[in-house]
Amino acid sequence: MTPLTTFTIIFIIVILLLVAEIEHRAVVAMLAAILSVYFGISYGLFSYSDIVEMLNLDTVLFIVGILILFETLSESGFFDFIGLYLLQKLGSKYALSIIMLIVLVTLFSGFSSNITVMLIFGAITFKFAESLGFDVKETILVEGLQTNVGGMLIPISSIPALIIATKTHMGFNEFMKVSLPFIFILTTITVIIAWILYYRHGPLEKRLKKTISVDPWSAVEKPSSLYRSLLIFIGFLLAISLGSNADLPPSFIAFFFVVISFLLSGVNPDKVFRKTDWSIPFFVGGFFVFVGGLERSGVLDRIAENLVDLLRLDPCLSAPLLLLICAVISAFIDNIPVVLILYPIVEDLVQVMGINPLPFYWALIVGGNLGGNLTTFGSPSVLIGVRLLERKNLTVSMAEYVKKCYPIALTQIALSMVILSTMVAAGYL
């Protein structure tokens, strides 16, 4: 068989395994990497020395550093404290409580793992619902949707955003210049739609007189650790935003602050290491090698041939259409492999065609994040939300999910296409 045929077969098998979820996605990625290395070297497509370059080690190490810093901040009790503090202050204010829950889930998802945010705010939402008498099912599902909107806030908010920002050397200011309008508009429309659909008639039961007695500091083991972890994380964000001027690689900055955090925060490193999701760097690293094999075998070129006609259209039309394509695929396949596969294709095409790449990079970031909202299994945070409800004997079928969430999810995608097209037409991108 030719290299193209062999790698096409591997590509199909890997995609089917990811869709079927028969094996853990990190295992699938490592299998794909091993097969790519074996057949790539056998066919003479690359040598062992090329594997380090294909691995994109700086990006993988940066992801590891980000995960550890996120977990350190979470372990300090910061997110639990903020959630309980709001629960204490807003516990009797129906409208403001619901709006703040949606907004804060969005913001916190920009600075922590979506799964962590969903677990913390899921527990808080149950307490709010008990006090205010609103339907907890709709609120949990809306929060799940918003964690993916928050994943576009800063370059390190989600893995797709992190991969593209790192590869394109997109700075914090440049990134947030585009992300903030998306976040503000999408969150505003989500609050409006959710209010009209679920909350405008007021609480299910008149429980507003019930107050919530809770001490936010009960969630914090060591207040000093919280303060120090927060200061270190803020320092990290500032260093990353200014790091491009100092020509320091992102991985160095991340691990510098990881070491500082372990030395000064007072958080137990063993707890952080145990809770860090190590499957993500293995998955990303394995898929980087796999995508390198697809690129050198010609598989990506064949996929690119089908995108050429799309990118030849006016960017005001082609970028939103790419966003839609990425979103639909991400509904069924994890958004990380979707972005990893589409990014090099888009990068090569825009260079050959001599067009501005930014609208298409943002199409991948936005589509990759929002696409997971179209199914209950497309986004880990949505899946966590569904499982939290199931623990309370509140089952959510796919049909019910479509009925309750598609008005918001489809509006978010459609509105994002309009925003992206408008930015391109106005010369903002």
What was the pLDDT predicted at 175?
A: 93
Q: What is the pLDDT of residues 252-277, one digit of tens each?
A: 999 999 999 999 988 999 999 998 88
| The predicted structure's pLDDT at residue 208 | 47
pLDDT at 119: 81
Instruction: Return phi, psi of residue 16, to 5°.
Output: -65, -40
Question: Following CA atoms 183, 185, 187, 192 in sequence, which dihedral angle do they give, to the nearest 10 degrees?
Answer: 180
List the structure tokens of 242: 């200014």
358 CA to centre of own chain: 19
pLDDT tens for each residue of the chain, 429 residues long: 899 999 999 999 998 888 787 888 889 999 999 999 999 999 999 998 889 888 888 888 988 998 899 889 888 888 778 777 876 777 666 778 788 889 999 998 988 778 778 888 887 888 777 767 677 888 999 999 999 999 999 998 888 898 899 888 888 889 999 999 999 999 999 999 998 888 776 665 554 445 556 678 887 888 998 999 999 989 988 888 776 566 778 889 999 999 999 999 889 999 999 988 898 889 889 989 998 999 899 998 888 887 888 888 889 999 999 999 999 988 887 788 889 889 988 988 888 888 899 999 999 999 999 998 998 877 888 888 888 898 888 888 888 999 999 999 999 999 999 999 999 999 998
What is the model's pLDDT at position 306? 79
Cα–Cα dist 14/208, whole Å: 52
**Residues 6 or more apart in contact with residue 396 via CB below 8 angstroms:** 137, 141, 376, 386, 389, 390, 404
Q: How far apart are CA 138 and CA 9, in angstroms?
A: 42
Residue 257 and residue 235 in contact, taking contact as beta carbons nearer than 8 Å:
yes
Identify the burial level of 314 via C-beta atoms within 10 angstroms of its C-beta, where 0-12 means exposed, 13-18 middle and 19 or more buried.
exposed
Q: Rounded to whole angstroms, how far apart are CA atoms 118 and 122?
A: 6
Cβ count within 10 A of residue 313: 12
Cα separation, 107 vs 104, in Å, equals 5
